[in-house]
Structure 1
């Protein structure tokens, strides 16, 4: 299994590339909605890495617990999964090495931040259950524990991390890169996916 030090040798594919089992969605800007849409159409088991990582009250599993919990979820899916999240610094190539398709949401930082900002406000209003039984609160929103502050304070580290993951991708695995909102809309249309937003889900 060969890897690349940059993206010049990677196998990038067009938006029309067929969806398969063992899909890994990474990056930022709509991972969960896309995973839910693929699950609805193709029956892949949706595995959310944030839900694997967090316990109630935003307590985090240890790296070992996180890896073990994720592995069990993958086993339970019987090879039909769509996993969304990042965490390559904790999981390494645990997911990448078995993926049949990687969908990389490489939207601009500004677009992603605006989506996160609006999502957090909506979650505070609706008290939507997220990330392993947790809720975002107004108190959290206005504190340094907010996801918005996290995204601001770690901006350059996040952007760097999105590129570093490419070094862990085996050269033979196809990567479908989506770089802007227009491409994302086109992807939904090409694959006849229904956009399932978080606020359409029941707690």
Structure 2
């Protein structure tokens, strides 16, 4: 499907939020899930990583990731932040709407740097109880390296979603205010549904 229509956005029950590190996928998904009153899922925290207190920075086995993903997408309503290549087709097959957060590089890089510094200083937990460190921030598999590598791949994938009729309806947000417009469309749906329920009583 190409660009999602307003009707497709309004009617979406299973929403996938994608983007590079620092785009705000988790925050956006949590906000939309709360707005709609449905389940919000963060792929890294809820599916991808083993509990950081028992096995720091350890990925779950592929079969566990796939099983966890199947359990999520089997539900009728959800907002999911992020996926990995191993479950992409599985999630796409159950998705009503893809929201790609494709903000300018300087925006996402600033967010990644700020978040990494904050987490390092405060020992704030992320990715299912893991803790970032200064040493990890400069390793080959660090979030900064991942951000750099993910940029062109994510933009190419967003373009593919807009052009491939076999993929779910897609909205590409290049500015935060465009995400706000999507939230307003969904909020109108909630308000309309609530009004209908009150009227029917």
Per the normalisation by structure 2, the TM-score is: 0.74
What is aligned with 2:31? Answer: 37
What is aligned with 2:197? Answer: none
What is aligned with 2:57? Answer: 58
Aligned with 1:26: secondary structure?
strand
**Map 1:1-203 → 2, pairs under 5 A:** 10-14=2-6, 17-18=9-10, 20-28=12-20, 29-51=23-45, 52-55=47-50, 56=52, 57-75=56-74, 78-87=75-84, 89-164=85-160, 170=166, 173-188=168-183, 191=186
- After superposition, the CA RMSD in angstroms is 2.9
Which ranges of structure 1 fall in alignment gaps of 5 or more residues? 1-8, 194-203
- Residue 178 of structure 1 deviates from its aligned partner by 1.0
Aligned residues of 1:96 and 1:169 also touching (Cα < 8 A): no
More helix by share: 2
Aligned residues of 2:39 and 2:79 also touching (Cα < 8 A): yes
Aligned residues of 1:14 and 1:176 also touching (Cα < 8 A): no
User: CA offsets per residue over residues 111-148 of structure 1, 9 Å max, x none?
Assistant: 22222121211222232221122121222123333201
Which ranges of structure 2 fall in alignment gaps of 5 or more residues? 189-201
Per the normalisation by structure 1, the TM-score is: 0.74
- Residue 107 of structure 1 deviates from its aligned partner by 1.8
Q: Judge which range, 22-31 or 177-186, deviates more.
A: 177-186
Structure of larger gyration radius: 2
Task: Provide the aligned length of Structure 1 versus Structure 2.
Answer: 181
